Amino acid sequence: MEMMLNRIILDTERVPAADRFGLWLDMLADSPAPLRVRTEHADDFVARADTIDLGRMRLVRYRYPSLDCVRSRKLIQRSDPDYYVLALTLAGTGTADQAGQRSECRPGDFTFYDCSRPHEVSHHGEHHGPAHPSSIVAFIPYDALPLPHRRLAALFAGRMPGNEGIGALLADYLIRITGHPEQYHAADAERLAGIGLDLVSMMLGRHLVSEDVVPTEVRRQALLAQVRSHIRQHLGDTTLSPQSIADAHHISVRSLHRLFEAEETTVAACIRDQRLERCRRDLADPALRDRPIQLIAGRWGFRDKAHFSRAFRAAHEETPQAYRVRHLEQARIVNTPASVINSQRTY
């Protein structure tokens, strides 16, 4: 059985109200950057932290009552890790203050700071109302980013939008990984971390104005991630092609093909393989057993029935119909109670 991503969930509602805030403080004390916390909800601190370890990067999805946090020089002396923090506000209004810079972040905004320098962070529900603020935080070791530390100081406690360009792609990545970690395997962790770190580097580099500070390979990986995301979002579009993808990203078709040279695949193969993967998923879905195979193929961009059958058989050495029958039968056996199966046996 495949191992899932390393994940730890802390939910204070699982303990009595009087113990909830203390449990939260214990969790923060074990984090890479402990904070001093002030809140008006210490008597009943209903909060949740979902931590996902990707190796080179740790992601935490938080939900908590309104609070104010300080990382003081004394705390830094006790624990002075070489970490950056990148935070995406999901709900509520956040403020960050570090190195003389202060910013206010609303849902969809990023902020960035250095754990080895004093800073203040606040996060409150809208209009200080009852709605819980929430955020996604990435703890990133210094050496995981290929950007000069002295240059990044200009971004500490700054606001960066997460609703456009690279910022939007990074926000989608963080929301997807932390929202559905059960969909990924432990074997995916290193690759997932690499994709995330490339996107972080690209976004930070863009906000440093000079793109020259971003290594060529980081720019290539970030563009590749954008292209792959575009393909996933347009699989059902029968006009999806290398030309349409290149046009959408303002590059030449030749540049697009060069982008895939190190990926051991081609643009066309990437489109075909993702379409076949979606078709496989639908063919094996018991809820879609009555949907004609041609409709499933058409939904994912295969216009011609014969072409789809050839492509499917070349990839899986069986016809779409045979694949569907085999997987639906397996699903039926798995979902049939053992008592029913035993009653159907002949002796």
Give the mean pLDDT per block of 10 residues along the chain (347 residues): 83 95 92 90 95 95 95 84 93 90 92 93 74 92 86 89 92 96 90 92 82 65 82 90 89 89 88 93 91 94 92 93 90 58 44
> Which residue range is the domain that position 63 belongs to?
6-210
Q: 27 with 156, same domain?
A: yes
Asked, for residue 228, whether it belongs to a domain, the answer is no
pLDDT at 334: 59
pLDDT of residue 338: 47
Residue 200's pLDDT is 95
pLDDT at 345 (0 to 100): 45
Structural domain count of the chain: 2
Are 140 and 25 members of one domain?
Answer: yes
**Is residue 205 domain-resident?**
yes
Regarding whether 35 and 132 lie in a shared domain, the answer is: yes
Whose CA is closest to 85, among 145, 140, 29? 140
**Alpha carbon distance 55, 189 (integer Å):** 7
Please give the C-alpha separations between residue 119 and each of 30, 98, 149, 157, 335, in angstroms, as whole numbers: 18, 5, 17, 8, 54
pLDDT of res. 2: 61
Asked if residue 227 is part of any domain, the answer here is no
Contacts of 215 (CB under 8 A, 6+ apart): 146, 201
In a domain, 321, yes or no: yes
Q: What angle do CA 329, 185, 48 make, to 5 degrees?
A: 110
Say which residue the tokens 């923090």 belong to: 85
Asked if residue 170 and residue 103 are part of one domain, the reply reads yes
CATH code of the domain containing 192: 2.60.120.10
Q: Are residues 201 and 57 in the same domain?
A: yes
Are 175 and 108 contained in the same domain?
A: yes
Query: At which of 189, 210, 231 does a domain end?
Result: 210
85 and 152 together in one domain: yes
Residue that terminates a domain, selected from 179, 210, 241: 210
Identify the pLDDT of residue 335.
58
Q: How far apart are alpha carbons 314 and 127 in whole angstroms?
A: 59
Do residues 31 and 176 both lie within one domain?
yes
CA dihedral (152, 197, 205, 71) in degrees, to 10, reads -30
- On whether residue 236 sits in a domain, the answer given is no
* 198 Cβ contact list (under 8 Å, min separation 6): 218, 221, 222, 225
The reply to whether 217 falls in a domain is no
In a domain, 248, yes or no: no
Task: Provide the pLDDT for residue 340.
Answer: 46
Find out whether 5 and 54 touch, Cβ atoms under 8 Å.
yes
pLDDT at 195: 92
Q: Are residues 61 and 204 in the same domain?
A: yes
Residues 307, 181, single domain; the answer is: no
Residue 203: φ, ψ to 5°: -65, -45
* Domain annotation covers residue 180: yes
Look at residues 125, 146, 142, 143 and name the one whose alpha carbon lies nearest to residue 134: 125
Same domain membership, residue 133 and residue 13: yes
Q: Are 285 and 202 within one domain?
A: no
Last residue of one domain, picked from the residues 210, 236, 261? 210
Task: Tell me whether residue 65 is exposed, middle or buried, using C-beta atoms within 10 angstroms of its C-beta: 0 to 12, 13 to 18, 19 or more.
Answer: buried
Q: Vertex 56, ends 51 and 58: CA angle to 5°?
A: 15
Q: Please list the residues that pair with 71 across neighbouring strands.
A: 119
